[in-house]
Amino acid sequence: MSEQIVVWHNPRCSKSRNGIKYLDEKGVEYEIRRYLDEPPTVEELKRVLKKLGMSPRELMRTKEAIYRELGLKEVTDEAKLIEAMAEHPKLIERPIVIRGEKAVVARPENKIDEIL
């Protein structure tokens, strides 16, 4: 009946761990995708961006060193930004909680309620 929930998770990130804890406390079943170990493809990122209703830059961790190293601040081509996230998943904001055709960046973790 209900759609499966997938969490793009980085276990080293406190915000990501908080999102998992929040789901656990609510008794919600979910699948974890360690997106740093299993990076999303360009196509997956496009689908998730659409579900989030966000632009590629809005999903990027602009304070990461790799963001500066790649000179992404000056990049205006959204396809190039998506490619950078697929190639360097550390650039992707986290955690992303996906359910069906909706998704949220769970910061703060109670944003998850929007898709439950």
> Which residues does the annotation mark as catalytic?
13
Cα–Cα distances in angstroms (integers) from residue 77 to residues 14, 42, 83, in the given order: 31, 14, 10
How many CB atoms within 10 Å of residue 19? 28
Residue 11: cis peptide before it, omega within 30 degrees of 0: no
The answer to whether residues 35 and 60 touch, using CB atoms and an 8 Å cutoff, is no
Question: For residues 50 and 1, what is the distance between their CA atoms, to the nearest angstrom?
Answer: 23
Cα 51 to Cα 28, 96, 101, 103, distances in angstroms: 20, 11, 6, 5
